[in-house]
Amino acid sequence: MLCRAVGLVGAFAFLGAASTESNIEARGKIRDDPGGHNWIDHDKVKAFLPSYPNDLPTQLALRFNPLLYVEGGCDVYPAVDDAGNLSGGLKPTPKDKRRSGCDAGGQGQVYARLGTTQNRTAIMYSYYMPKVRWGKGDDQGHRSYWAFAIAWLLEFGCSPSQFWPTGLSFTSDHEQMAWSYKTPLSYSAALTQMPTHPKLKLHDVGMGPFTGADGDLLFQRTLVTWDQLPSQARAALNDVRYEHTIVPFSDANFQGLIDAAYASQFYSDAPIAAKSSCLNITEGPHTAPQQPGGQGPGQGQTPGQPPDGTNGGGQPTLPSGYSQIVFEDNYSKQQVGSLPDTSKWDFDLGTGYPGGAPNWGTGEVQTYTNDSANIGISSSGTLVITPMVNNGDWTSSRIQTNAAQDFKCAPGGKLRIEASVMLPDSDPSTQLGIWPAVWSMGSAFRTNVSSWPGIGELDILEVLNGEPKLYQTVHCGVSPGGPCNEKTGLGSNTAIKRGVFNKIAVEVDRSAGGDYTTEQLVWYLNDKATFTVTGKEVGNQGYWEALASEPKMILLNVAVGGEFPDGVQGSKTPTAATVGGPESRMEIAYVAAYST
């Protein structure tokens, strides 16, 4: 389980705020100020029942509107009506009567607002309760309380179905923000390939994941977006000041709160959504939210900037000693939602090469497609390959550079094949059988699919079953056996950090002079050498030349199941718990090949 609470000092600390007694309005010593608007009884505020336009922001807000279970305390109520009248709340009551007067019977309202922070897409869902029984430093409770959740979205295209939830932040008590993803989160469509409505519970302390079965008490509240509210209602929500809480989605607070929630997610290594280019949302001012009871912002923290090297995959750059780029595909320059550039790449389709071994010769279970659900350019300028499952049938994608892109290492020179790759830090129990790979083969394989392993294969990245372990391997000669110990190959493995971009590479080095025995292959992870094979070790000039001097092509794919993941796991993969979708994707910032 990955679920943590993170204190947002200054950005979401509700204690010690200044207040004024200028507007008591026969409410005892409650220091809530309607800001020039009117209080009315909490049960007289009518919920908005809007009709929903077919624009992308509204459809996304509806798509991910949480299912809410009220575990204790008040149900959620409308906070404002169309004339700008505000709910006056309720006087807190003893614990055994904490629902007294505020059991809305499901007639409440949820307020949605879309935004971005650090180019990440967020939807905030806010809930108002007329009273709350408990809060830190406030054992007797108080009138009026706001709770909220933030859904972080991953974007693969510009239709609602191409947005996926990648994490959830929520208020866990009066002072804390928590984030949760994967377990224990569940969704209304948890067993499908398109999870939508996260399931949450609400109680006096705050919010949390709801992991029980669906039932009559778990349902969505009527949604209204910030843009759908009448101007009088928006003004009232911007102007009101509560003694013990704030309006989270008001103009003064919304951006600061999603900034703070984003920073907490990032620095806790939670997966973060991709940059959105379809919504065209302008970020608000990056100021700290207001403090309860006061008119101005608190002394909030500066929104966090992601550390270097973990947020983006970088750009291809000539390594020291190299003079030319012989192949490059930089996805940041391509149209969002498009397929890979067909002037550079061919698709491998189906379950094997025509005339070749079934199941791609390795026992894989997926069917490769060129469908945009399986492969495409993301809005963050990366190529994303995503395996999907539907009723037990798996699909994914595999591409290889075409013949016009072939390259080779010249005598006395060097050749380096390099890529920047991110694999999400997903729960390994959901990843059994997921097998992403970046590799190279001799291009003669295109015209002779029975020529493996004699044409040579360099596996630059293989990662299995959700493990933080990188396998790098060479295949050559004959199978079984031969100088490369087929079908296993000669290889090594090393630890790799998931959830960040890593630079992986293999270098063909023919610069030493002399015969083939002085040449070598060197694998790298983030520019650190991890594995070396020499011509002398292979001991066969013909097999070595296929590896070191013959033309090559590059392949990218995410396989599912097969001999390699089965062997590492010790049992058949995938399992019923293996998931498709973004948690199982491979994301590539660029692929390049350089020569001296």
| Amino acid making up residue 457 | E
HSE-up of 236 (CA within 13 Å, CB side)? Answer: 22
C-alpha–C-alpha distance, residues 152 and 430, integer Å: 20
The length of the chain is 596
Phi, then psi, of 412 in degrees rounded to 5: 75, 5
Do 386 and 584 touch, CB atoms closer than 8 A? yes
Tens of each residue's pLDDT in the chain, 596 residues: 234 344 443 444 432 222 222 333 333 445 789 999 999 999 899 999 988 999 999 999 999 999 888 887 788 999 999 999 999 998 877 666 666 778 765 568 999 999 988 778 899 999 999 988 654 445 567 889 999 999 988 887 888 888 888 788 888 765 566 777 655 677 776 555 667 888 888 876 678 888 777 666 778 889 999 999 999 999 999 999 998 889 999 999 999 899 888 766 554 455 555 555 688 787 777 777 777 765 443 333 222 222 233 345 678 899 999 999 999 999 877 887 889 999 999 999 999 999 899 999 999 999 999 998 899 988 778 899 999 999 999 999 999 999 999 999 999 999 999 999 999 988 999 999 999 999 999 999 999 999 999 999 999 999 999 999 999 999 999 999 999 999 999 999 999 999 889 999 999 999 998 899 999 999 999 999 999 999 999 999 999 999 999 999 999 999 999 999 999 999 999 999 999 988 899 999 999 999 99
Give pLDDT tens digits for 162-176: 888 878 888 876 556
d(CA 468, CA 470): 7
The Cα–Cα gap between 31 and 12 comes to: 19
Residue 220: predicted pLDDT:
84
Query: Is residue 565 reached through a cis peptide bond, with omega within 30 degrees of 0 on the bond before it?
Result: no
Going from N- to C-terminal start, the domains of the chain cover 39-266, 338-408+419-502+550-595
Tokens 């009723």 -> residue: 391
Q: What is the pLDDT of residue 405?
A: 97
Range 338-408+419-502+550-595 classified under CATH 2.60.120.200: yes
Q: What is the CA radius of gyration of the chain?
A: 28
pTM greater than the 0.85 cutoff: no
